Structure 1
Amino acid sequence: MINLGEVQELKITKIIKAGALLKDEDANEVLLPHEEIENEKIGDIIKVFLYNDSKGEIFATKTIPKITLGKIAHLEVREITRIGAFLDWGLEKELFLPFKEQICKLDRGRSYLVALYIDKTGRLCSTMKIRDYLRTDSKYKENDRVSGVVYNVVDDIGAFIAIDNIYEALLPNDQKRGVVAVGEPISLRVASVKPDGRLNLSQRERGHLELDKDAELIFDLLNDYDGFLPYNDKSDPDDIKDMFCMSKSAFKKATGRLLKGNKIEFYKDGIRIKEDKNGRK
């Protein structure tokens, strides 16, 4: 069978002016355009990708694209139109991403995760709605380091990540640091593995390692703000989260560590870097 959107090995049965005719074991036929013929001859078996032209007809190409049917890839937006976007997938004819298959505003030149599918008209298209294409059978376990790409952000929940462009994972809001955007590559820690195999992620480290990083972050911000910040253990948790991207509990632990290390002191409804005997910070 000639499988649109897939890589197949087909046999050259005839060479004509338009190109080489390829057939599968069931005698289904497809054309490899003449400009792609090099030293191939009748009887050769070659690896090709099957795609649609602008009229919807199926052709073969020896160029293997960056994505195949049912798979996911991180592709760059080349053009944005009223009906959708066009992506660079490695072929001369760019891949269409319909407007209805987009989940956020796209920027030309940025890359986003998409899956390849065949639409109702029988043409190859891409979609940003990739959750159903992701798997939950990874071998990752708690505290493993993983890399992925953000494929969706839901304000009340968190960021959804495709690990290795294969596995489904969630970065909950309370485990985020700063802003993450759709299409952004990201490296994280596996915080837990759900019974169904989905991964919960965190940008925070474990225990004392995280405490050190929180303390370092607060101290760096104090330096950026001339040694004083109007936050302490009585500050509103939301204000602390907005400023430091950490929970109030984490903030209190980190400031406690800085106090114990004689790095800061509480001062006039805030914290400041502690000066030495000569008045130096």
Structure 2
Amino acid sequence: MTRVKVGQSNLLTVIKESSLGYFFDGGEDGNILMPNRHKPDHELAVGDNVDVFVFHDSEERLTATVKFPVAQIGEIVFLKVIDKSRFGAYLEWGLSKDLFVPESEQYDPMELGASYFVRILLDNHGRIMGSSYFSEDIEEYNKETFSLKQEVMALIIRDTEMGWKAIINNTHWGIIFHNETFKKINIGQVVKAYVKNIREDDKIDLSLVPIGFNPDHISDLGKQILDKIDFNKGFLPITDKSSPEEIHQAFEVSKKSFKQAVGFLYRERMIIIQKDGLRRS
């Protein structure tokens, strides 16, 4: 029998339904309850295999939920402190139970309302916690982990004189140079990036566009569209089917020019065209 992975995604089988919720087969960990408040919108049946997140509730019982937090074990994320106690800080991360960061795991004392980078870990008792001591674990050099043109996810850590320092796939440092940043970037943001260069010293340079694509080819209108999508948190409720008046009000251009710019961005896989608007890819 296997054990569940606390703080991670688990594919578990429904074995019973009760007035409390659904019970799942947790192997060596016994039956695990998914309380009613953590149930999906649709009904489950005995025998269903469900992708769930497992954590300890306030009474230290293993609990399953289909409402995943913003990060799982091993991942680094930028979170806001929403409560404090004499033992540590509590950060909002998308679960009903906030992420606890003990004082001993705070690189700098955490202040209420401020946001910090933390890595999601398990403590010595197997409970989920956060820690801001992770920088020494991030590799500075490539060591054949990544290849040129590889698509990665980059967590923006800080703005330096040269460019944006980022953590690649939770494991390595990289940089996006300022002169190659053609869209708005914020600290704590996760962006899709590409390995542009692995230097002689094995440090990694990143690009925000697929290698071989020249961002100079994006028209001024294309940049305006991308900026407006980013400003609206990744979605813009305007498409090439919108009225000429609506398009002109937003961008002061003709519908034909707008359609050409949208088509270009779509072909370069920089946006997704949906029925109700444009979304960042």
- Matching residue of 2:156: 149
Shift of 1:101: 1.1
Which residue of the partner structure matches residue 215 of structure 1? none
Letter of the 2:22 counterpart: A
The counterpart of 1:168, out of the listed 162, 166, 173, is 173
1:196-275 correspondence runs (5 A): 197-199=202-204
Corresponding residue of 1:54: 58
Cα separation, 1, equivalents of 2:31 and 2:45: 16
Deviations 1:44-86 (A, max 9, x none): 1111100011232211011111111111122222123332211
Contact 1:72/1:166 (CA < 8 Å) preserved in 2? no
Most deviating of 28-37 and 58-67: 28-37
SS at match of 2:104: helix
Q: d(CA) in 1 for partners of 2:49 and 2:111?
A: 41
Mapped contact 1:56–1:122 kept (Cα < 8 A): no
TM-score by length of 1: 0.53
Distance 1:39 1:116 in 2: 31
Deviates more, 1:128-137 or 1:190-199: 190-199
In 2, the alpha carbon distance for the partners of 1:28 and 1:40 equals 19
1:9 to 8, 11, 17: 11
For 1:15 and 1:170, locate their aligned partners in 2 and report how far apart those are by CA, in whole Å: 50
1:163 Cα deviation from its structure 2 partner: 4.1
Q: Is the 8 A contact 1:31 1:60 kept in 2?
A: yes
**Runs of at least 5 residues in structure 1 that lack an aligned partner in the other structure:** 154-158, 172-182, 202-281
Amino acid at match of 2:43: N
1:113 aligns with one of 114, 117, 129 = 117
Deviation track 1:81-110 (CA, whole Å, cap 9, x = no partner) reads 332211111001100011111112434333
Two-structure CA RMSD over aligned residues (Å): 4.1
Query: Per the alignment, do residues 198 and 112 of structure 1 end up closer, same or farther by CA in structure 2, a change over 3 Å counting?
Result: farther
Distance 1:13 1:186 in 2: 37
Q: CA deviation at 1:132?
A: 5.3
Question: Is 1:134 paired with 2:135?
Answer: no
Counterpart CA distance in 1 for 2:125 and 2:198 is 40
In the alignment, structure 2 segments of 5+ residues that lack a partner are: 177-186, 207-281
Deviation at 1:133, TM superposition (A): 4.9
- Given the superposition, is the C-alpha separation of residues 139 and 108 from structure 1 closer, same or farther in structure 2, using an over 3 Å criterion? farther
Residue from 19, 22, 25 that aligns with 2:24:
22
Among 65, 69, 85, the alignment partner of 1:81 is 85
SS in structure 2 at match of 1:68: coil
Distance, in Å, in 2 between the alignment partners of 1:140 and 1:81 is: 46
Deviates more, 1:52-61 or 1:104-113: 104-113
User: Given that residues 78 and 108 in structure 1 are in contact (C-alpha distance below 8 angstroms), is that contact kept between their aligned partners in structure 2?
Assistant: yes
* 1:90 alignment counterpart: 94
CA contact (8 A) 2:148 2:196 kept: no
Q: CA deviation at 1:134?
A: 3.4
User: How far apart, in 2, do the equivalents of 1:139 and 1:52 lie?
Assistant: 39
Structure 2 residue 103 is matched with structure 1 residue 99:
yes
Q: 1:31 aligns with which of 33, 36, 54?
A: 33
- Partner residue of 1:265? none
Distance 1:131 1:40, change over 3 A: same
Change (3 A) 1:107 1:132: same
Distance 2:166 2:111 in 1: 19
The normalised TM-score by structure 2 is 0.53
- Residues 207-262 of structure 1: CA distance to partner in whole angstroms, max 9, x if unpaired? xxxxxxxxxxxxxxxxxxxxxxxxxxxxxxxxxxxxxxxxxxxxxxxxxxxxxxxx
Cα distance, 1:27–1:109 mapped onto 2, change above 3 Å: closer
Shift in alpha-carbon separation, 1:18–1:164, aligned structure 2, 3 A: same
Task: Give the letter for the 2:117 counterpart.
Answer: L
Deviation at 1:13, TM superposition (A): 0.8
